[in-house]
Structure formats: structure tokens, C-alpha cells
Amino acid sequence: MAEKPYFCGDSSANARSVEPTYIGMNRTKHASKRNRPSYKSLLAAGTGLSLISPAMSQSEAVKSASQPQQGSQPNILFILADDLGYGDLGCYGNSVVQTPVIDSLAGAGLRFTDFYAGASVSSPSRGCLLTGLHTGHATIRGNMCRVGGLEGEREGIPGKVRRTNLQPEEKTLGDLLRGQGYRTCLVNKWHVDGFDTTATPLDRGFDEFYGWLVHEPRSHNFYPDVRWRNRERYEIAANQNGNHADHNTDRATDEAVAFITRMGKGATLEGCQSAASQASGQPFFLYMAYNAPHVPLDAKDTLLYAGKGLPDTDRRYAAMISHMDASIGRLMNTLREQGMADNTLVVFASDNGGAKAAQVETLPLSGVLKGWKGDLWEGGIRVPLVASWTGYIKPGTQTAEPAYFPDFFATFADLTASHTSATGDGVSLKPLLTGEVTSLPERAMYWEQYPRVGISVALRKGPWKVIRQQMDQPWQLYNLKDDVGETTDLAAKYPDIVAELSRLAEEAHEPSPYWPVYPEK
């Protein structure tokens, strides 16, 4: 199908309630797994809150939403980079990679030094962001599942793999915010659909979707010749036959600019009457999930880094980040042009740490941190986070409060006055963002990672982090305030701390039907 102008969403999606009706695949087996008889909330351990089922609290959050307060809620632009390391930005100490726009967001807002993704790889991390659940409770705990799910091709890799997806009963940020009167849109990378064609963003709380889905391997690169526009798969003529003409960072940015513009002016394109009627005064949630700087390092050009003595890989890696940075500048300009810059919370983060696969030679990538994407060392999960919101977040500020992806469900519930007491495994960052407080109640944050067999686990509480690479290996303990590089294992010196944190970690793990810890042979 040929390209045509952007249009404003899927009519069936627009008509959906905040309780999605699942159609298609047989989910009987999965539906029965979400009983949580042994679940104990990490929040309860850390804050004294009552025990709450994450799934129940999400549902409650959506159902108990107050009526939308037109004009009183901020727009939310959540920008996610892909495999961007902790040391990849100027505002995080990189002196080579030029990121003036993201640096200016940090200068205009709050920069987190101790912020973490939901997981050390893409799909589970994005699932944690969207659902507010950590990887001990979430359905998606790895990119490929060990058993169950659906089989399909993985881009560029022979053979079949299995994936699973966000389940209908898992409420997303899209569900939450749509329930609060927002128009919700995902641009570019979803990556929580597995190979299930009925688990698209439009089936999980988003009114609009422009991007790619994992069952279409041809779309997973920087010059894709196939893309999705809501439920329509279309060919990108300029990139047919391997042509490198229409870069994905530009295309994704165009789609986001078009969405913001529609929300600013009201829809004027043919066929967008339904959006036009909603646009005036309706807040938006735009989840802008870029590919960059994930491999392959298909930079549009590397002119910015010519003559700087960088190895070719580093030059292309840096150029991809700067291209994304400039594209974020286009989004910010569009917000200004539409008069929405002051009433938009802008968040920038990365889905996991820097990737060893990028083969960067001289750039810091993980900065001072140990490890890479795929590790539970800090380099795999600690990521940049900056947030700006004119008049609400104090410019040029920094916080060392530990926080992570599951917190955004609670944060956005709080921000939009959903009047829910708790949501999932996270806590609201709103008081921290707005300067109402400078510290949060100490709580535990939890991560799982699945190597070829077994399970790796990490948990942070306060300055302390326990990590175990396999169940039959001993816990290690690090004090991240003194030793952010995780060089000195203090487990033998502080056995009581190991005992407390390892107990919390063991309580945080709920068995998964897709990632059994010891798969059958």
C-alpha cells in the first residue's frame, strides 16, 4: 500500500473504553496465572503501605480516575532512547557526543543521577515502564521467552524465537492517561507485542500508533521499507530495494511533530474530524520511543564528527545520538509553536544501558559504571533521566534519589489526580519533580535478568545493592554511594544487610509461566 498523509487514529481504538476488550488469541492459560497468592509488596517492606496486588491497584487506578479536568492537566511528552548509555550525554559528563537539546532540558529541569530502567534489555524494561510492575511481577521479563508465547522471526537472526506480550489485563500508561481524558499516542518502537498481532499499542491503551511491530522484521532498522500507521501496514517507497533515503529518526520525528501539531491546532487533515472534536483543550500523552543509538549504527551522516579523530564506529554512534538530539529539538520547537511548551512535562530516558554490541572504542558509553546492556551491573540498568516542566520543576536541579521505570505509573496517576493510593510496584515521583520534597521514603527496587539458564537478580535499597548472577552463587553487596563502579564486594562485612536485601529480593520474585527459572530440558 502506498504512503498517504498521516491520519488521526483508529476509530475502533478511539471508541474503546479504558478496559480493553481482548480479541483473537487464546489467553485462557495466561489469564489463570495472575493469581498472586505469595505476592508481598516491596512497597510494604519499604514504606509500611498495605499489601497491594499490582494488577488490582492498576485497575483501581484506572477505574477510580476522576473526571478529566480539561485544561488543568499537563501534556506529557515521554522520550525514550534505545540502548543509550549512562555516559552518552553531555549533561552526564560526555565531552565528545554533542547533545545540546537534551542538555538544555536538563538545564531547564531536574536531572537524576540514580535513575534506573525497568530491566537491562528492551522488552521487559518497556513493559515495566508501561505497567508500573517490576520484573518480578511483570509478564514480560526478557526479549525472548523460554516457554510459551508465540514463535516468529528475529531480525537478522536465522531460526525462530518465542516472545510474549503485554496482556490485556495489564493496564498501561496509555490506559491510565486515556482514562484521565488524555489523547494517547505511541511513535516508533513498541516492542511489547511479542509476535501477537492483537497486542498492538491500539490494543493496549493508545489512541494512535505510528511505528513498527516485532512480527515485521523488515521494519526494525533505520531505513525500513515497511511501517505501521495505526492498523495499516504500508510500504515506504524511498527505502525500497535497500535504499537508504528516509531515515527512521526523521520519519518518527515527523510523525510526532504531526501529532503535536494536531493536538495544538486541532486536526485539520481530511478524515480527522473525531480528533478535531477532541483536540481543543484535550491534554496529550506522546510516548516517543526512538531507535537510536541501537545497532545497526546507520547514522544519517557523520559530518558533525568529521575531523575529530574518532574511530568510524564511534563517529557513527555519536552521530546517531546527535541526530536524535536535534530531532528532539524539532519536537520542542513544535511545542513552542503550538503554545504548549509551558504546559508540557517533558521526560527523557533510555530503555537500558549502553550496548557492548555497538563496539564503541573510545566513547565512555557506560561512563564510570560497570557492565553493559544485558547486565544487572549498574551499566546495564542505570540510565539518564531528565525532566522539565515550566513553572513546576525548578531549573538546573539534580537529585540522587533512586528511582526507576515502574515509578512512572504512580507518578502519572498522581500527576493527573487519579486519586489512587498506590499503583503497581512504583512510587510517585511527583513530589520530587515539583520540589515538594527532596527525598523519597526509602524503598527497595528490584530487577531480574534471564541468562541462558537460571536467573540473575539485583535489588537496591538506599545506597545498598545486592546482586546475584545465579541462584547457586553467593549474593554480592555494594555501597553505591561510595562505590558506584561496584568494585568492592562488602557481603562478608555486612551479613545483616545482605540478609535483609536478599530476603526482599526473594519475596519480590513471582514465578513466571514464560520464564521458568529452571526450564525443562
Nearer to Ca ion, 186 or 504 (CB): 186
Q: Which helix (H) or strand (E) holds 442?
A: none
CB of 122 to Ca ion, least distance (A): 4
CB of 322 to Ca ion, least distance (A): 19
Q: What is the residue-wise DSSP string for 56-95?
A: HHHHHHHHTPPPP-TTTS-EEEEEEESS--TTSSGGGT-S
Q: Is residue 413 a contact partner of residue 176, using CB atoms and an 8 Å limit? A: yes
CB of 190 to Ca ion, least distance (A): 13
Nearer to Ca ion, 381 or 457 (CB): 381
CB of 117 to Ca ion, least distance (A): 8
Q: Residue 486 interacts with Ca ion (CB under 5 A)?
A: no
Interacting span for Ca ion (CB under 5 A) from 31-39, 114-122, 156-164, 462-470: 114-122
Kindly give, in sequence order, each residue whose CB lies less than 8 Å from that of residue 448, ignoring residues fewer than 6 positions away.
119, 124, 135, 136, 141, 455, 456, 457, 509, 515
Nearer to Ca ion, 82 or 425 (CB): 82
Nearer to Ca ion, 68 or 224 (CB): 224
Nearer to Ca ion, 85 or 179 (CB): 85
Cα-based torsion angle of the residue sequence 201, 148, 123, 116 in order, rounded to the nearest 10 degrees: 130
Select from 368, 412, 424, 407 the least CA-distant residue to 138. Answer: 424
Kindly give, in sequence order, each residue whose CB lies less than 8 Å from that of residue 214, ignoring residues fewer than 6 positions away.
152, 163, 190, 191, 193, 194, 195, 220
Select from 448, 446, 484 the least CA-distant residue to 463. Answer: 484
Nearer to Ca ion, 82 or 486 (CB): 82
Using alpha carbons only, what angle is made at residue 144 by residues 143 and 149, rounded to the nearest 5 degrees? 120
Nearer to Ca ion, 83 or 175 (CB): 83
CB of 351 to Ca ion, least distance (A): 4
Cell numbers placing 209: 500508533
CB of 130 to Ca ion, least distance (A): 14
Q: Is residue 166 a contact partner of residue 193, using CB atoms and an 8 Å limit? A: yes
CB of 214 to Ca ion, least distance (A): 13
Binding to Ca ion by CB under 5 A, coded x per residue (else -) over 68-107, reads --------------xx------------------------
Q: Is residue 382 a contact partner of residue 114, using CB atoms and an 8 Å limit? A: yes
Kindly tell me the number of DSSP H helices and DSSP E strands found in the chain: 14, 18
Interacting span for Ca ion (CB under 5 A) from 137-145, 252-260, 350-358, 376-384: 350-358
Q: Looking at 193, 196, 225, 351, which residue binds Ca ion (CB under 5 A)?
A: 351
Binding to Ca ion by CB under 5 A, coded x per residue (else -) over 28-67, reads ----------------------------------------
Nearer to Ca ion, 383 or 429 (CB): 383
Cα(first)–Cα(last) distance of the chain, in Å?
45
| Cell 487464546 belongs to residue | 26
Report the residue number whose CB is nearest to Ca ion: 122
CB of 103 to Ca ion, least distance (A): 22
Nearer to Ca ion, 139 or 143 (CB): 143
CB of 293 to Ca ion, least distance (A): 10
Site for Ca ion in 116-135 (CB under 5 A): 122
Residue 161's Cα: distance from chain center in Å? 23
Nearer to Ca ion, 177 or 381 (CB): 381
CB of 82 to Ca ion, least distance (A): 4
Rg of the chain over all Cα atoms, to the nearest angstrom: 22
| Amino acid in the structure at residue 151 | E
Select from 404, 407, 317 the least CA-distant residue to 83. Answer: 317
Select from 164, 145, 227, 188 the least CA-distant residue to 351. Answer: 188
CB of 79 to Ca ion, least distance (A): 14
CB of 27 to Ca ion, least distance (A): 27
Kindly give, in sequence order, each residue whose CB lies less than 8 Å from that of residue 220, ignoring residues fewer than 6 positions away.
155, 212, 214
Question: How is the chain split among helix, strand and coil, in percent rounded to 5?
Answer: 30, 15, 55
Nearer to Ca ion, 146 or 220 (CB): 220
Nearer to Ca ion, 202 or 383 (CB): 383
188/92 Cα distance (integer angstroms): 25
161/149 Cα distance (integer angstroms): 10
CB of 47 to Ca ion, least distance (A): 30
Q: Looking at 58, 352, 476, 512, which residue binds Ca ion (CB under 5 A)?
A: 352
CB of 113 to Ca ion, least distance (A): 21
Q: Which helix (H) or strand (E) holds 3?
A: none
Nearer to Ca ion, 83 or 225 (CB): 83
Nearer to Ca ion, 8 or 363 (CB): 363
258/205 Cα distance (integer angstroms): 20
Please work out the total of residues on this chain that contact Ca ion, with binding judged by CB under 5 A.
Answer: 5
CA distance readout (Å), 183 to 20, 190, 207: 16, 17, 6
70/66 Cα distance (integer angstroms): 12
Site residues (vs Ca ion, CB under 5 A): 82-83, 122, 351-352
